A and B are shown apart, each in its own frame.
Chain A
Amino acid sequence: MLAGGILVITRRNPVHSALALIVTLLAQASIYLMLYAPFVAGVQIILYAGGIMVLFLFVIMLVSVDRSMRERQFNSQWVIGVIAATALGGLFIAVYTKGTSLFPDHASPVLEGDNTQRIATMLYGQYMFAFEIASLLLLVAIIGAVVMAKKRI
C-alpha cells in the first residue's frame, strides 16, 4: 500500500499514477479484510477500484497527456505543505503510541460472518436518516453534473 501511494505522487505519467492508485485501493480493501469487514472490502473493490478509477482513467486518457507532461511543474506552497504534513504525521504517531486507551468504548472484534447483517441492520435502522441524506446528496451531485455538461437544457 505504501509503495502504491508513493508511486502515485512520484510518476510523471498520469496514467501510471492512476494505476498505482488502483493498487493502493486494492491494498486498502485487503486491510478492510484484515479488520474483519468483508462487506466493506467487497464494496471497495466494486465501487472504488472497478468504478471510480475507470472514470478517472477515462478523463486522463481524453485529456491530452503529452501537452500536460511537457508543462513546467510548479508548486508555490510547499512550505505550508511541509508544515501540514509534519503536523498530520505527528498526530498519527501520537495516536499510535497512546494505543487504544484513547477510544473508551472500543468493542471487541465481531464475528466476520455477521458483518453484512450488522451493517444492514444499523444502516437501515439506526442511521436511516443519514442514509437518506447521503442519497439526496448524491442525487444533487448527479443533477449538477448533468446541468453543467449539457449544451442546452
Chain B
Amino acid sequence: MNLVVQYIESYLGSNQTPGAAGNMFWVLVYILLVFTGISLGVIAMNWLERKILAHMQVRLGPMRVGPHGLLQPFADALKLLLKEDIIPAEADSAIFWTAPFMVVLAAFTTFVVVPFGPTHAITDMNIGILFMLGVSSLSVLGIVMAGWASNSHYPLMGALRSSAQMVSYEVAMGMAVVTVILMTSLNAAGTGTLSMIGIVQAQLAQGEWFIFKFFPLGLIAFFIFAVAMVAETNRAPFDLAEAESELTAGFHTEYSGFRWSLFFLAEYGAMMAASSIAVTLWLGGWLRPFPNWLGGARWDDFFSFFPGVVVLFLAGMCFFNTARMPKHSYFRIQTIGLGVFGALLGVVALILFIPGVRVRVQDIFWFAAKVAGFMYLYIWYRGTFPRYRFDQLMKMGWKVLLPMGLGVLILTAGVALFQQNLWHP
C-alpha cells in the first residue's frame, strides 16, 4: 500500500509531462481531465453557438429551457440519447457502426500531445505536430466510411465531397506548419523541433510569437492555416458537404440519436484540436501576453489575477441578468437558477484568487482563453460568410492557398538563412 502511495506521489513536483516520466497513474488522471475538459467545451460550444449566432442574426436563441437557455445542451443530449437507433436496411452494418467511432477516435487522440502548460500535457512526443496532423487526417477515413455505409446517394455525395475538401486543405495546412517549424530552428544550435512544447519554448526563447515573426510572413502563414483549418473541420463557409439546403445533412443523414451525437462531438473536438494547433504554433501556447517585454515577478503576479477577474466578470453578468429577469411568477425558477449559477461562478472566481491556485492555473487559463477566442471566430465565420460552392472551394484550396503556402515557405527560408548568415556558397 505504501508503495502505491509512493508511486502516485513520485510524480508531484516533477518538471516533465507524465508520459515522459512514465507514471501511468498520472497519465490516466491527465487523460480523464482532458477528456472532461473537451466534453465541457463541447457542451459550452453548443450553447454558445446557438446564442451567438442568434444574437448576430438579431434574435434571441434558446431562452426557455433554462435561464437564457443555459440548460439547452443537456436537453439536446438527453433527446439524442433517447432517440430510436435506426440502421438503414441495405446498409453495411459493420462499417456503419465503425464510422462514428473512427471519427471520434481521430478527434480525441490528437489531444494527447496538446500542451496546456510547460509540463501540463499528457505526453510530449518528439514528433508532436506530425502526430496531430496525421491523426486528424484519419477522420477523413471515418467520414468516407460513414457516407459509404449509409447506402444512400446524399450521404455518399456528401462524404466524397467532404473528404476531397479535407485532403486538399491538408496540403495547405502542411505548408503553413512547415513554415513555423522552420522558424523554431532560429536558435544558437540551429536545430528546430517538432514537439509541441518545444515550439512554444522556442517562441519564449526568441521573444516573439510566431505570428509576428518576419512580419508579414508569420501573419500570412497564420492566415493560411486559419482558413485551412476551417475547411478541414467542414465548418462554414466550407460546409457544403453537410449543408442543410444542399444535401440534407450530408454524410451523417442516416445517423440518428447517439451515433449522430458522436459525429457532433467529433466535429467540435476536431475544431478544438485545430484551434489548439493554431494557438500553439502561432499565438504562443500557454504564454501570457508579453512574457519577455513585461517580464519579472511583479508582472507575473499582475497577469495571474486575470483568470479570477474573468470568472468574476462572468458571475457579475449572471447577477446582472438575474436582476433583469421578468418579475412574473412563471420565471421564478429561472431567476433562482440563474442566481445560483452566478453564485457558483463567484465561488470559482474566489478559488482562483488563492495564491497557490493562481500560479498553477495561469498557463491553462491563457491557453484556454486563446482557444476560446478561436471558437468565437468559428461561430463568427458561420454567421457572416455565405457558403462556398464546391468548385470554388477546391479552386481556393489548390490554386490560391497552396501557392501562397509555398511562397511563404520559400520566403521564410530565405529570410531565416539571411538572418543566420549561413549562406555558404
Residues of A at under 8 Å CB distance from B?
Answer: 13, 15-16, 19, 22, 38-39, 41-43, 45-46, 49-51, 53-55, 57-58, 61-62, 112-113, 115-117
Pick from A42, A55, A61: contact of B127, CB below 8 A: A42
CA A115 to CA B130, docked complex, whole Å? 13
Q: Give a binary string over B138-167; 1 marks a CB under 8 Å from any A CB, 0 the rest.
A: 101100110010000000100010011001
In the complex, what distance in Å separates the CA atom of A19 from the CA atom of B144? 11
B140 touching A61 by the CB < 8 A rule? no
Shortest beta-carbon distance from A11 to chain B in Å: 10
Residue of A at shortest CB range from B144? Answer: A57
CB-CB under 8 A for A57 and B126, given A13-B92, A15-B92, A116-B194: no
Chain A CB within 8 A of B48 CB:
no
Closest Cβ neighbor of A60 among chain B residues: B148
B95 within 8 A of A: yes
Question: Among A45, A53, A115, which residue has its beta carbon within 8 angstroms of that of B135?
Answer: A45
CA distance A144 to B392 in the complex (A): 25
**Does B289 belong to the interface (CB within 8 Å)?**
no
CA distance A86 to B109 in the complex (A): 40
The answer on a CB contact under 8 Å between A46 and B92 is: no
Q: Closest approach, in angstroms, between the C-beta of B335 and any C-beta of chain A?
A: 51
B119 at the interface (CB under 8 A from A): no
CB pairs A–B below 8 angstroms (28 shown): A13-B92, A15-B92, A15-B95, A16-B95, A19-B95, A19-B98, A22-B141, A41-B127, A42-B127, A42-B130, A42-B131, A45-B131, A45-B135, A45-B137, A45-B138, A49-B137, A49-B138, A50-B134, A51-B137, A53-B141, A54-B144, A57-B144, A57-B145, A57-B163, A61-B148, A112-B126, A115-B126, A117-B191
Which chain A residues lie closer than 8 Å to B194 at the CB level? 39, 116
Q: Is B125 close to A, CB under 8 A?
A: yes
Count residues of chain B with CB under 8 A from any CB of chain A.
27
| Contact for B148 among A15, A55, A117, CB less than 8 A | A15
Instruction: Establish whether residues B127 and A116, one from each chain, have CB atoms under 8 Å apart when the complex forms.
Output: yes
Q: State whether the Cβ of B81 lies closer than 8 Å to any Cβ in chain A.
A: no
- Is the Cβ of A46 less than 8 Å from the Cβ of B95? no
The answer to whether the Cβ of B133 comes within 8 Å of any Cβ in the partner chain is yes
Nearest-neighbor residue (CB-CB) of B140 within chain A: A54
A interface, by DSSP: helix, strand, loop or mixed? Answer: helix
Tell me the minimal C-beta distance from B66 to chain A in angstroms: 41
Residues of B within 8 A of A54 (CB): 140-141, 144, 163, 167
In the complex, A61→B95 CA distance in Å?
14
B145, A19: Cβ atoms closer than 8 Å: yes
Q: Which of B92, B134, B163, B170 contacts A45 (CB 8 A)?
A: B134
How many A-B residue pairs have C-beta atoms within 8 angstroms? Tell me: 73
Q: Are A61 and B144 in contact (CB under 8 A)?
A: yes
Those 6 A-B pairs whose CB atoms lie nearest each other, nearest first? A50-B137, A45-B134, A42-B130, A46-B134, A42-B127, A38-B127
Instruction: State A55–B408 Cα separation when bound (angstroms).
Output: 28
Q: A117 to chain B: which residues have CB within 8 Å? A: 191
Bound: A150/B55 CA distance, A: 48
- A49 in contact with B125 given A15-B92, A54-B163, A116-B194 (CB within 8 Å): no
* Residue from the list A43, A58, A112 in contact with B160, Cβ < 8 A: A58
Contacts of A42 in B (CB 8 A): 127, 130-131, 134
Closest to B171 in A: A51
Residue of A nearest to B139 (CB): A50
Q: Assuming the A-B contacts A19-B145, A57-B141, are A39 and B163 also in contact, with contact meaning beta carbons closer than 8 angstroms in the complex?
A: no
Residues of B with C-beta under 8 A to A58: 144, 160, 163-164
The docked-state distance in angstroms from the alpha carbon of A13 to that of B191 is 48
Complex CA–CA separation, A16 to B191 (angstroms): 43
Chain B residue at minimum C-beta to C-beta distance from A121: B191
Chain A neighbourhood of B134, CB < 8 A: 42-43, 45-46, 49-50
Q: Complex: how many Å from CA A57 to CA B94?
A: 16
User: How far, in Å, is B350 (CB) from chain A's closest CB?
Assistant: 43
| Complex alpha-carbon distance, A94 and B164, angstroms | 45
Extra A-B contacts (10), CB below 8 Å, given A50-B170, A57-B145: A15-B95, A15-B148, A45-B138, A49-B138, A51-B167, A53-B141, A54-B167, A61-B144, A62-B160, A112-B126
- Give chain B residues whose Cβ lies under 8 Å from the Cβ of A49: 134, 137-138, 141
Nearest CB in chain A to that of B138: its residue: A50
Chain A residues in 8 Å Cβ range of B126? 38, 112-113, 115-116
Which residues of the partner chain A approach B135 to less than 8 Å between Cβ atoms? 45
